[in-house]
Amino acid sequence: MHASVTTTRGTTDDMLAVATMAGESMAPWLRGLDGYEGLIMLTDEDTGTTHVITFWTDEEVAERSRMARLQLRDRITATVNVEVQETTPYAVAFADLPGLGSPPQH
């Protein structure tokens, strides 16, 4: 399994709501890509930082969709007024996420 981690930073008052909206916009599009396995967004409201983690069956399929994903990333970050800090690929060494679902809505 492969992961792509994008770190963004914004100054919006409610970064959790912004990240939730961005994730809800991205997920249906990502589901249409070959090899897509999942999405997790982690937000630190104190710093305005969000880590967007997408999971792929392997590095090859992630690389095939990389340019399209970067274009989507840039459109969404411009819309919600956050700045991309970096995007980094990772090999997934271990994952244990049974029962992980959508967090409760506020």
- Tell me the longest C-alpha to C-alpha distance in the chain: 38
**Which domains, and CATH codes, for the chain?**
2-91 (3.30.70.100)
pLDDT band, residue 106 (cuts 50/70/90): very low
How many residues are present in the chain? 106
Structure token digits, residue 4 = 């792509």
Q: What is the pLDDT of residues 79-95, one digit of tens each?
A: 888 899 999 999 999 98
Q: Which of 8, 78, 87 is nearest to 47 (CA)?
A: 8
> Global pTM?
0.87
